[in-house]
């Protein structure tokens, strides 16, 4: 039985709980202690007395002999579409198509092939591939075996990839032929991997590849060599299913991990949220294509949602702007998710205007959604909303869908809500705290976002110190500064480590970036804090001019541009201390986020 305790002197019990307890139980042990409030831990005699009463009550509760606990495992997510939508399609690059029946068979075959290579429960299987049907098969087959799926971030540096493979303890590694040269550069220092599997495209000849990597076989050939059915074990829902590594901007990447139960609950919560919305919804009848790499937080967990719903899924392979636009139109894609840089890449692509994107629904996260980008998307007929999460949270915590009254307003009036962090998903306890106190939901009071939810990582893999920093006072600390309004809409104003502290006042770097993003002559921008002898810190805007701009940008003009927004009341008065520097490019992480650590090293 889970034990109750205290936090900050308050009992972990609600009065409603007491009201629901049988009368004879109220007279004993833990409940008398709870109400007395005399000490933080109940005496051992009270604990024993309460346990006896609890056991007596449970023994008197009728229970069928055949009843058993139903385990929430990833396998259950695959069963519904097989019975309900068996002929719906999974499409790869528009050239290969599989039904859900075939998906199930290929999942079984992949498990059989991995078992033949020696993979057992508790082993780790790494994958280095583009977004593909193969990755989807691994999303299911590997955890369903009782093994752990390690989705390798192929955009990391070779040294970081080596570190993650070794740290995760990969036993088998599935590698796309495009990444073989990268793997060869670190092969001599990989000590954990016992077998390598080559992934070749359908139009490629695996035998033509010249490599020193001792591949055990090619993916499709291995699948063809085993039976179409695999006897998956019955698993405990708390068994680890996946692991992957955060795109660390300081130090080495950190490993996070999730159980079957966590992934299933995350899937159900996302579905309950976005399937019930009045707009930007995702439900049966939609066509899904991820634009977030599948190596990054399970592509935000949406492939599990798409599979459970049994919708048509489109996997694009390697990202190329025009190829993505072509797939969206030809396959009639209706729902995607991506970071802002990906959406900007598609809308700024020279060929973009030739493609009708009206009706496309896009969830944007990973970084703040600029207001100007959201406005451009709306003008193209794209139903765009912001969302929020982090690697440690599996990842989705909130989505910024609008209510009927909001949707009745003009598009311009909707923008402020669409670009926010949003409202928390079901089962997410999201608080905004200043120290140990929760701040008012007044749309102004700021603090750090801390969260509880059933699917948060329990810590960092093999990193107790990092885990202790992540979890404090029973909450996961995100490091994001935000405020929340009376309707529950959260808006992130900055990262705690990125906020500009001017003479004791906080200035949001994101607010300044949003103002500059709206400037027609600016292609990219990032704001960092620079040291200042008088004020402590002041903002420095690093600006990349838009190629082909009609009028050359000057730093003086850009400072004047920011001051106009101060005069309008859009930016606080501290923004007049802004400095501007024109640069050629903004450093970004492997998943497209601005790398402000690298920028500070380069320009300060």
* Cα 315 to Cα 135: distance, rounded to the nearest angstrom: 9
Q: Any idea which residue has 């901007």 for tokens?
A: 249
Whether the Cβ atoms of residue 246 and residue 253 lie closer than 8 Å to each other: yes
Higher pLDDT, 329 or 551: 329
pLDDT at position 241, please? 98
Degrees, nearest 5: CA angle 440-387-545: 105
Residue 570 clears pLDDT 50, i.e. is over it: yes
Q: Of 421, 454, 484, which marks where a domain is finished? A: 484
pLDDT at position 4, please? 41
Average pLDDT over the chain, rounded to an integer: 89
Q: Considering only CA atoms, which of 322, 370, 366, 327 is closest in space to residue 347?
A: 322
Report the CATH number at residue 560.
Answer: 3.30.300.30
Domain holding 593, by residue range, is 498-603
Residue 301 clears pLDDT 50, i.e. is over it: yes
> Does 502 lie in the same domain as 477?
no
Tell whether 492 is covered by a domain.
no
Q: Of 427, 451, 484, which marks where a domain is finished? A: 484
Q: Considering only CA atoms, which of 275, 346, 267, 272 is closest in space to residue 307?
A: 267
* Cα 530 to Cα 578: distance, rounded to the nearest angstrom: 10
Token reading at 385? 């909303």
User: What is the average per-residue pLDDT within 114-140?
Assistant: 98
> Does 419 lie in the same domain as 290?
yes
> Does 503 lie in the same domain as 468?
no
Tell whether 475 is covered by a domain.
yes
Whether the Cβ atoms of residue 90 and residue 114 lie closer than 8 Å to each other: no
Tell whether 66 is covered by a domain.
no
Q: pLDDT exceeding 70 applies to what percent of the chain?
A: 89
Tell whether 176 is covered by a domain.
yes
Q: Considering only CA atoms, which of 545, 493, 462 is closest in space to residue 256?
A: 462
Tell whether 491 is covered by a domain.
no
Higher pLDDT, 34 or 433: 433
Residue 17 clears pLDDT 60, i.e. is over it: no
Domain count, the chain: 3
Q: Any idea which residue has 């990447």 for tokens?
A: 253
> Does 79 lie in the same domain as 216?
yes
Whether the Cβ atoms of residue 391 and residue 459 lie closer than 8 Å to each other: no
* Cα 596 to Cα 367: distance, rounded to the nearest angstrom: 13
Whether the Cβ atoms of residue 345 and residue 370 lie closer than 8 Å to each other: no
* Cα 499 to Cα 24: distance, rounded to the nearest angstrom: 55
pLDDT at position 35, please? 42
User: What is the average per-residue pLDDT within 426-440?
Assistant: 95
Give the pLDDT confidence of 474-529 residue by residue, as tens digits. 999 999 999 999 999 999 999 888 889 887 777 889 889 989 998 989 999 999 99
The DSSP-derived string for 101-163 is: HHHHHHHHHHHHHHHHTT--TT-EEEEE--BSHHHHHHHHHHHHTT-EEEE--TTS-HHHHHH
pLDDT at position 51, please? 60
Degrees, nearest 5: CA angle 286-290-291: 130
Whether the Cβ atoms of residue 524 and residue 340 lie closer than 8 Å to each other: no
> What angle do the packed helices 340-348 and 371-379 form, to 10 degrees?
50
* Cα 417 to Cα 419: distance, rounded to the nearest angstrom: 6
Q: Of 14, 30, 59, which marks where a domain is finished? A: 59
> Does 508 lie in the same domain as 420?
no
Higher pLDDT, 509 or 304: 304
- What lies within 8 Å, CB to CB, of 182 at 6+ separation is 154, 158, 161
- What lies within 8 Å, CB to CB, of 494 at 6+ separation is 480, 481, 506, 508, 509, 510
pLDDT at position 462, please? 95
* Cα 516 to Cα 368: distance, rounded to the nearest angstrom: 14
Q: pLDDT exceeding 90 applies to what percent of the chain?
A: 73
Q: Where in 485-590 does DSSP place strands (E)?
A: 490-495, 500-502, 505-507, 522-532, 536-545, 579-582
SS (H, E, C) 541-562: EEEEECCCCCCCCCHHHHHHHH
Tell whether 18 is covered by a domain.
yes
> Does 537 lie in the same domain as 460?
no
DSSP, res 366: S
pLDDT at position 166, please? 98
pLDDT at position 56, please? 65
Report the CATH number at residue 127.
Answer: 3.40.50.12780
* Cα 413 to Cα 406: distance, rounded to the nearest angstrom: 8
> Does 206 lie in the same domain as 121?
yes
Tell whether 383 is covered by a domain.
yes
pLDDT at position 33, please? 41
Cα Rg, the chain, nearest whole Å: 26
- What lies within 8 Å, CB to CB, of 603 at 6+ separation is 528, 540, 542, 581, 583
Enter the pTM of the model. 0.82
Give the pLDDT confidence of 215-261 residue by residue, as tens digits. 999 999 999 999 999 999 999 999 999 999 987 655 789 999 999 99
- How far from each other are the two terminal CA atoms of the chain, in whole angstroms? 54
pLDDT at position 45, please? 56
Higher pLDDT, 36 or 449: 449
pLDDT at position 544, please? 95
> Does 103 lie in the same domain as 25?
no
For residue 513, CA distances in Å to 51, 224, 420, 478, 540 come to 57, 52, 15, 21, 10
- Catalogue the active-site residues: 246, 392, 501, 506
Of the pLDDT bands very low, low, confident and very high (cuts 50, 70, 90), residue 83 is: confident
SS (H, E, C) 452-473: ECCCCCCCECCEHHHHHHHEEC
Higher pLDDT, 549 or 385: 385
What three-state secondary structure class fits 90? strand
Residue 28 clears pLDDT 60, i.e. is over it: no
- What lies within 8 Å, CB to CB, of 179 at 6+ separation is 128, 154
> Does 398 lie in the same domain as 450?
yes
The half-sphere exposure of 494 on its side-chain side, counting CA atoms within 13 A, is 22
Tell whether 293 is covered by a domain.
yes
pLDDT at position 507, please? 87
Of the pLDDT bands very low, low, confident and very high (cuts 50, 70, 90), residue 29 is: very low
> Does 102 lie in the same domain as 40?
no
Strands 148-151 and 522-532: unpaired
Least confident of 197-211, 340-354, 362-376: 197-211
> Does 214 lie in the same domain as 96?
yes
> Does 279 lie in the same domain as 353?
yes
């Amino acid at each position: 039985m889970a034990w109750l305790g205290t936090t900050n002197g308050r009992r972990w019990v609600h009065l409603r709980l007491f009201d629901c307890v049988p009368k004879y139980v109220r007279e004993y042990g833990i409940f008398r202690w709870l109400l007395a409030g005399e000490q933080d831990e109940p005496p051992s005699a009270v604990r024993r007395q309460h346990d006896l009463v609890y056991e007596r009550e449970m023994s008197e509760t009728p229970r069928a002999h055949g009843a058993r606990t139903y385990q929430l495992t990833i396998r259950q997510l695959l069963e519904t579409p097989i019975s309900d939508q068996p002929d719906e399609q999974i499409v790869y690059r528009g050239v290969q198509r599989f039904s859900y029946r075939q998906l199930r068979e290929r999942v079984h075959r992949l498990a059989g092939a991995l078992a033949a290579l020696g993979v057992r429960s508790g082993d780790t299987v790494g994958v280095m591939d583009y977004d593909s049907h193969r990755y989807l098969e691994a999303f299911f087959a590997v955890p369903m075996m009782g093994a752990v799926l390690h989705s390798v971030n192929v955009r990391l540096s070779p040294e970081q990839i080596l570190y993650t493979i070794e740290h995760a303890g990969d036993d088998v590694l599935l590698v796309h032929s495009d990444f073989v040269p990268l793997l060869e550069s670190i092969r001599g220092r990989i000590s954990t991997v016992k077998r390598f599997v080559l992934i070749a495209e359908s139009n490629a000849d695996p035998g033509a590849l010249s490599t020193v990597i001792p591949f055990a076989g090619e993916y499709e050939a291995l699948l063809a060599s085993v039976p179409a059915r695999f006897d998956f074990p019955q698993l405990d829902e708390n068994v680890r299913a996946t692991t992957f590594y955060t795109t660390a901007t300081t130090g080495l990447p950190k490993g996070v991990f999730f159980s079957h139960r966590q992934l299933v609950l995350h899937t159900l919560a996302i579905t309950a949220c976005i399937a019930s919305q009045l707009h930007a919804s995702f439900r049966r009848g939609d066509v899904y294509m991820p634009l977030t790499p599948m190596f990054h937080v399970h592509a935000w967990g949406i492939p599990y949602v798409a599979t459970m719903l049994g919708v048509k899924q489109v996997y694009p392979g390697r990202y190329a702007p025009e190829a993505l636009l072509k797939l969206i139109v030809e396959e009639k894609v209706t729902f995607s998710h991506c970071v802002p840089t990906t959406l900007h890449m598609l809308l700024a692509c020279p060929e973009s205007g030739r493609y009708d994107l009206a009706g496309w629904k896009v969830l944007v996260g990973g970084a703040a959604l600029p207001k100007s980008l959201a406005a451009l998307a709306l003008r193209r007929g794209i139903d765009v909303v912001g969302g929020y999460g982090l690697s440690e949270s599996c990842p989705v915590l909130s989505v910024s869908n609008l209510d009927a009254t909001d949707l009745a307003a003009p598009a311009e009036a909707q923008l402020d809500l669409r670009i926010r962090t949003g409202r928390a998903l079901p089962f997410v306890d999201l608080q905004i705290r200043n120290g140990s106190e929760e701040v008012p939901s007044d749309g102004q009071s700021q603090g750090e976002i801390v969260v509880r939810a059933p699917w948060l990582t329990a810590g960092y893999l093999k990193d107790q110190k990092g885990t202790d920093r992540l979890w404090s006072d029973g909450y996961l600390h995100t490091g994001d500064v935000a405020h929340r309004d009376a309707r529950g809409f959260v808006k992130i104003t900055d990262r705690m480590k990125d906020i500009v502290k001017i003479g004791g006042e906080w200035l949001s770097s994101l607010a300044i970036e949003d103002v500059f993003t709206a400037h027609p002559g600016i292609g990219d921008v990032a704001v960092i804090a620079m040291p200042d002898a008088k004020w402590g810190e002041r903002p420095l805007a690093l600006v990349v001019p838009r190629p082909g701009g009609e009028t050359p940008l000057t730093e003086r003009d850009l400072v004047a541009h920011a001051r106009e927004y101060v005069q309008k009341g859009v930016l606080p008065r501290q923004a007049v201390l802004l400095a501007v520097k024109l640069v050629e490019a903004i450093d970004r992480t492997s998943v497209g986020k601005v790398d402000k650590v690298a920028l500070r090293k380069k320009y300060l």
